[in-house]
Amino acid sequence: MTHIPLNANLQLALTRAGLADCIAFSPPQVRALAQATALNNDALALALLPLAQQKASATVSRFHVGAIAVGGSGHWYLGANLEVPDLPLNHSLHAEQAAIGHAALRGEQSIEKIVVSAPPCGHCRQFMNELNQGDSLTILLPDGSHKLGDLLPHAFGPADLGIRGGMLGAAAGQLDLSSEDPLLLAALAEANASHAPYSGNRAGVVLALDDGRLCRGRYLENAAFNPSLSPMQMALSQLMLGGGQGGQIVRAVLVEQRAPIRQYETAAQTLSRFTAIPLTRVTI
């Protein structure tokens, strides 16, 4: 893990509250940290970014990016960039994607603010546009606050392809699977929670670790296609955010819907850069 120092007062507050290893913060925890540090919410979020940056795996760029997604529920979710060894850079997961994916996995229906340590690239601006929240989405940077609409003028989004709503809070899928395998059923639940209005390729991944933890991922598709977030990227992001290592993976499963595209080959290739454990695939 890369050491990127936190503000000393914040580090002390996190340690005293038992939150030093947290990757998500509840509203009461946010309030307690704000009180302990005498920081307002925006200043606190910016001060917490090094905690997210420490989770980054930037094997190519050496540029560690941290992000926080502030959910409509008041919960805060950390995200960090993840670059996959030996694979092209388009397999990389950006910090903003990681934070939004993290929020999605925790059931958030909307995102109020994205806090990030560096200005979001065009890829991330397009990905955030899939939230379909217009100017209600705020991007907080160290240099100040911006509206997504100002950072992405004349945007192409879901409405241009006849899709209403965004990637969070959409109706669940109806995929079914005759199985008593809890790992497959967990992956099925992620597939049903995925956002795939353009391809119809609902997909979910679950990685089982040797300590009993499950790292989950679901497909979050984008109107511009390329910024789509794959279920394997999301699951590996959860692994890294939680301080896990590829060597801890004991089983990996993918459940996906038959569609004009499929996740398996890319997911298996990405997984192979972290573990020799094979990827089990079930297609519905």
| Axis crossing angle, helix 27-37 with helix 41-53, rounded to the nearest 10 | 100
Is there a catalytic annotation at residue 83?
Answer: no
CA distance 80 to 116: 9
Q: Give DSSP secondary structure letters for 80-102.
A: E-B--TTS-GGG-B-HHHHHHHH
Taking CB atoms within 8 Å and a gap of at least 24, the contacts of 25-30 are: 25/75, 25/76, 26/74, 26/75, 27/73, 27/74, 27/75, 30/74, 30/76
- Burial degree of 266 (CB within 10 A; 0-12, 13-18, 19+): middle
Choosing from 96, 130, 190, 221, the catalytic residue is 96
Rounded CA gap, 98 and 93, in Å? 7
Nearby residues of 8 by Cβ (< 8 Å), 6 or more positions away: none
Query: Can you say whether the dihedral through the CA atoms of 185, 251, 253, 238 is positive or negative?
Result: positive
Reported residue count of the chain is 284
Whole-angstrom distance, CA of residue 228 vs CA of residue 220: 6
Contact by Cβ (8 Å): 128, 149: no
**Catalytic (active-site) positions:** 96
